[in-house]
Amino acid sequence: MNGPQDVGGRHGFGPVVAEEEHIRFHADWERRALGLTLAAGALGYWNIDASRHARESLPPAVYYGSSYYKIWMTALETLLENAGELTREELATGQALKPGHRADRCLAPQAVPQVLKAGGPSDRPGPAPLFKVGDRVRTRNHQPAGHTRLPSYARERTGVVTALHGAHVYPDTNAHFKGEQPCPLYTVRFTAQELYGDDADPTLTVSIDAWEPYLDHA
């Protein structure tokens, strides 16, 4: 889907303001938001692609009017409500009205470091790649109603494969519980002029990670 998160190349959002690398949170509630998201993920109702899709499915006015972790929390409420773990009434009152369905899957504090260390690897056995480093490829006019990792500004554009990363979970299906369907993942480099027109800086390039279903030979 073309969600509000997909703002690459659009005017009106101002410059990207880089922060110091050591800055992780701006307030204590943001730490709690990260902790709640991690703990709720342990319930097993969704995967990383489904959770990302929940954030990107927020209405533009909500998305643009929210901070990073506010977006996380709003999407988490939806995920938990859809899973039947909470209700609108519980959200409104801030009080649990019934026990959780999967309380036995709670993430114990002592298990958190190992969970964070393990992460969520997405590499899988998969088919042989159709493209190789140096190949010119063209992205497809990819306009799905559901989740996709192909940004709108890079659709129907020609670039060059600069890296092959093996086969990885295909997010477009995984986000909707239609199977992981691993497929080759590439890094593709585009000139800024190819993406944004003749007025773009000719010295700049943009690289994206692109799954094989997004690509054709140029």
Note the pLDDT tens digit of each residue in 79-98. 999 999 999 999 999 999 98
- What backbone phi and psi angles, to 5 degrees, belong to 20? -60, 140
Q: Domains in the chain, please, with CATH? A: 28-118 (1.10.472.20), 136-217 (2.30.30.50)
Strand pairing of 183-191 and 205-211? antiparallel
Cα separation of 65 and 71, whole Å?
9
Three-state secondary structure call for residue 199: coil
| pLDDT given for residue 15 in this prediction | 84
Sign of the Cα torsion 195, 200, 201, 202 reads positive
The predicted-structure confidence for 66-84, as pLDDT tens digits, reads as follows 999 999 999 999 999 999 9
Tokens of 116: 């964070």
Tokens of 123: 């590499």
The yes-or-no verdict on residue 136 having pLDDT over 90 is yes
| pLDDT given for residue 11 in this prediction | 84
pTM: 0.91
